[in-house]
């Protein structure tokens, strides 16, 4: 038996933008005429073709957790809808082996007039579950969804969060062989999001297949074995989650290693301070020199103080490609300097970052300038730069190093004693012991 649970072969999907849908019933035709009685048939206006997917091929093995990433409009949801048989491909072939359960939108497949209890049984029936199977899992579903008080209330009165909780609980607990999840983390509080991730992890450990779409790259790396990056309806890259996610995030940034504002009148700032320049470069190099994980580098910030007797203090926050704060920093605290005002003029601050500290990846720096305990100027993404890996650090390892930072820590190795002789080893002595 093949280990492939989902096979997608050269699938394409074409949409006609502006094309009026064909009417299958007299009711549809009458309804359109009533809404616009002067419309002439056949005059639907200009039409435009849009390829949502083009020649996409993907294979997912049984028990694998596959992630789909890409910008909005890349084709991720279209592919999941084709797999869920909500829409048909224009060309290509899809093969699914096993029972598939999907959670593509809040309350997917729910009847708003039915109660939560009735919708649990309805969704189970749609998945091909027997009534006895649904009854066996019912209490677990309700407990996970945390809607016990409202389980006999029509779901049309549920909030979007309650919809999501119950819909995810049904999809995850009714044991489909293949679970398709689209942006489940977009709704719900942090506690519910953690429950979703934990449950999908448990689903995968039981040998079921998961196809997961999310813009949460931390969740994608943590949960998925493999990731497919879709771009403009095509497969841009496919491979281990850490590698593909990193390449996707790097492609989402455009490096900005220097910004200059020549005119104080148009530069970002206030009546007290205006930015002049910001740059990042190797400590002993130029703006064009690469920064690796081993390279000491500097971030320089220049600004004009426009009025005398103003005390300003800068600080920066450095974010990695996943939006996590790597560190915040500012000049060392000076009790005398904190009370001293500065004359008007141009100032430069330099922050030195040692080598062997950051992990490889893209970084963004935000600059904050404060006065008297409040922020008077904030400039996000003032610098965007890439820290590359160093070839000499690979040592045969070609994957992505884990961690927000990658410091070169001080390790030591010392000789303690010689290896025990074979006769002195416990496993050798036990053959001569006489049981008491």
Q: Is 306 exposed, middle or buried (0-12, 13-18, 19+ CB in 10 A)?
A: middle
348 vs 390, which has greater pLDDT?
A: 348
Whether residue 318 has pLDDT greater than 70: yes
170 vs 201, which has greater pLDDT?
A: 170
Tell if the pTM clears 0.85, that is, is over it.
no
Tell me the pairing of strands 297-305 and 273-282. antiparallel
Query: Which CATH architecture does the domain made up of 4-19+47-252 adopt?
Result: 3-Layer(aba) Sandwich (3.40)
Whether residue 434 has pLDDT greater than 50: no
Handedness of CA 390, 395, 399, 400 (dihedral sign): negative
Give the tens place of pLDDT for each residue, 203-246.
777 778 889 888 877 778 778 889 999 999 999 999 998 889 87
Mean pLDDT within 263-291: 91
- Which residue has 């053959």 as its token pair? 431
Hey, is 232 helix, strand or coil? coil
Q: Pick the range with the lowest mean pLDDT from 124-128, 131-135, 157-161, 318-322.
A: 124-128
Tell me the pairing of strands 297-305 and 345-353. antiparallel
Mean pLDDT within 268-281: 94
Sheet holding 178-182, edge to edge: 100-103, 178-182, 209-213, 65-69, 226-231, 234-240
Per-residue pLDDT, 106: 54
Mean pLDDT within 161-182: 81
Hey, is 120 helix, strand or coil? helix
Handedness of CA 156, 162, 167, 169 (dihedral sign): negative
Give the tens place of pLDDT for each residue, 57-66.
999 998 888 9
State the pLDDT confidence band at 93, using cuts at 50, 70 and 90: very high
Token pair in block for residue 76 = 């991720």
Q: Pick the range with the lowest mean pLDDT from 116-125, 172-181, 275-284.
A: 172-181
The structural domains of the chain, with segments of one domain joined by +, span 4-19+47-252, 258-391
Tell me which of 2.60.40.10, 2.70.50.60, 1.10.760.10, 3.40.50.10090 is the CATH number of domain 258-391.
2.70.50.60
Per-residue pLDDT, 328: 94
Long-range CB contacts (within 8 A, 24+) of 283-290: 283/352, 287/257, 287/258, 290/386, 290/388
- Which residue has 């093949």 as its token pair? 2
Per-residue pLDDT, 21: 53
Mean pLDDT within 253-262: 86
Per-residue pLDDT, 308: 84
Per-residue pLDDT, 34: 59
- What is the C-alpha to C-alpha distance for residues 206 and 1, in angstroms, rounded to an integer? 19
Nearest Cα to 193, choosing from 161, 171, 158, 160? 161
State the pLDDT confidence band at 363, using cuts at 50, 70 and 90: very high
- What is the C-alpha to C-alpha distance for residues 166 and 182, in angstroms, rounded to an integer? 15
Per-residue pLDDT, 43: 47
State the pLDDT confidence band at 269, using cuts at 50, 70 and 90: very high
Per-residue pLDDT, 18: 66
Give the tens place of pLDDT for each residue, 411-425.
999 989 887 666 655
Per-residue pLDDT, 436: 46
Q: Is the distance from CB of 403 to CB of 246 less than 8 angstroms?
A: no
211 vs 182, which has greater pLDDT?
A: 211
Which among 180-189, 281-290, 326-335, 349-358 has the top mean pLDDT? Answer: 349-358
Give the tens place of pLDDT for each residue, 19-44.
555 555 555 656 665 556 555 544 44
Whether residue 409 has pLDDT greater than 60: yes
- What is the C-alpha to C-alpha distance for residues 126 and 109, in angstroms, rounded to an integer? 9
**Phi then psi dihedrals of residue 252, to 5 deg:** -80, -15
Nearest Cα to 270, choosing from 310, 318, 300? 310
- What mean pLDDT, rounded, does the chain reach? 82
State the pLDDT confidence band at 189, using cuts at 50, 70 and 90: low
- What is the C-alpha to C-alpha distance for residues 216 and 166, in angstroms, rounded to an integer? 21
Whether residue 178 has pLDDT greater than 50: yes
């Amino acid at each position: 038996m093949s280990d492939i649970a989902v096979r997608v072969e050269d699938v394409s999907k074409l949409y006609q933008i502006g094309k009026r849908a064909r009417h299958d019933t007299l009711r549809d035709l009458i309804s359109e005429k009533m809404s616009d009685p002067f419309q002439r048939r056949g005059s639907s206006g200009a039409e435009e073709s849009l390829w949502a997917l083009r020649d996409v091929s993907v294979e997912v093995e049984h028990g694998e957790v596959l992630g789909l990433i890409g910008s909005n409009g890349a084709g991720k949801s279209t592919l999941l809808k084709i797999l869920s048989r909500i829409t048909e491909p224009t060309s290509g072939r899809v093969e699914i082996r096993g029972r598939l359960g999907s959670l593509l939108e809040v309350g997917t497949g729910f009847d708003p007039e039915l109660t939560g209890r009735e919708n649990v049984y309805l969704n189970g029936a749609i998945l091909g579950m027997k009534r006895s199977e649904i009854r066996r899992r019912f209490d677990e579903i309700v407990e996970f969804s945390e809607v016990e008080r409202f389980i006999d209330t029509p779901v049309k009165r549920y909030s979007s969060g309650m919809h999501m909780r119950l819909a995810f609980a049904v999809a995850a607990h009714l044991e489909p062989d293949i679970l398709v999840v689209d942006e489940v983390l977009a709704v719900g509080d942090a506690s519910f999001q953690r429950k979703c991730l934990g449950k999908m992890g448990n689903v995968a450990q039981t040998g079921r297949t998961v196809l997961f779409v999310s813009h949460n790259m931390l969740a994608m790396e943590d949960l998925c074995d493999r990731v497919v990056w879709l771009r403009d309806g095509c497969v841009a890259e496919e491979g281990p989650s850490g590698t593909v996610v990193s390449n996707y995030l790097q492609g989402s940034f455009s490096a900005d290693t220097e910004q200059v504002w020549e005119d104080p009148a148009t530069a970002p700032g206030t009546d007290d301070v205006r930015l002049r320049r910001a740059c990042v470069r190797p400590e002993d190099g130029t703006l064009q020199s690469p920064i690796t994980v081993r390279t000491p580098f500097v971030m320089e910030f220049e600004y004009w103080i426009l009025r005398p007797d103003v005390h300003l203090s800068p600080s920066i926050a450095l974010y990695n490609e996943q939006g996590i704060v790597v560190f915040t920093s500012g000049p060392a605290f000076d009790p005398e300097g904190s009370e001293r005002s500065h004359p008007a003029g141009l100032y430069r601050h330099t922050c030195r970052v040692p080598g062997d500290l950051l992990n490889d990846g893209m970084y963004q720096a935000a600059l904050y300038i404060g006065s008297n305990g409040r922020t008077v100027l904030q400039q996000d993404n003032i610098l965007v730069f890439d820290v590359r890996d160093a070839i000499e650090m690979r040592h045969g390892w070609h994957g992505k190093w884990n961690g927000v930072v990658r410091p070169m820590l001080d390790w030591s190795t010392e000789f303690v004693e010689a290896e025990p002789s074979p006769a002195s080893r416990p496993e050798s002595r036990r053959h001569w012991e006489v049981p008491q």
